[in-house]
Amino acid sequence: MNTTSLLRLAAAASLFASPTFDARACGLNWAWTLDEALEKAKEDNKLVLLFFTGSDWSPRSIALDKQVFERGEFSDVASSKFALHLADFPQRTRLAAQYEQANIALAERFKVRHFPTIVALMPDGTEYARHTYTHEDAVEMVGWLNHWDEGYRKERAASTQPKQASK
């Protein structure tokens, strides 16, 4: 199934559910929009973690929620080192139309083919890294986050070092 078909199926299924959405899921402080997350990333000099999930129907998304998001070690690292945005595609809960359309556009832009997918973005919105979750535990996921954060900081430090003139 291609990305557009998958997204249309997820969006169509959400039409039969109630109109609520909690962007503060699992105690994490999710930005309501990607622009808001990117702005925070620019202000705080950090990456954005963009999570694509089917929170109430995708078995791996539900596992990510329970086995990773709800763990203190993950939420501490994610909240302190990254700006967060959740692009959810629920089927039992109805998103406001503006969020549903924005999420579909983001999934198409980043060519998401599986849920959940985690995309790390530079503060300018370009993709830095990605990972498709396959039941890693919180410790493994914290390892991914620390690896991305350390790599980003090293790259930034190297790019801000003054160039030495060659003799």
Q: Which residue would you say has higher pLDDT here, 165 or 62?
A: 62
pTM over 0.85? The answer is no
Which domains does the chain carry?
A: 3-15+34-152 (3.40.30.10)
Q: Is 114 helix (H, G, I), strand (E, B) or coil?
A: coil
Q: Is 106 helix (H, G, I), strand (E, B) or coil?
A: helix
Six-digit token pair at 95?
């998103």
Question: Looking at residues 24-32, what average pLDDT do you find?
Answer: 74
Q: Which residue would you say has higher pLDDT here, 72 or 161?
A: 72
Find the angle CA(67)-CA(86)-CA(60) to the nearest 5 degrees: 35
Confidence at residue 71, expressed as pLDDT on a 0 to 100 scale? 87
Mean pLDDT for the chain? 86
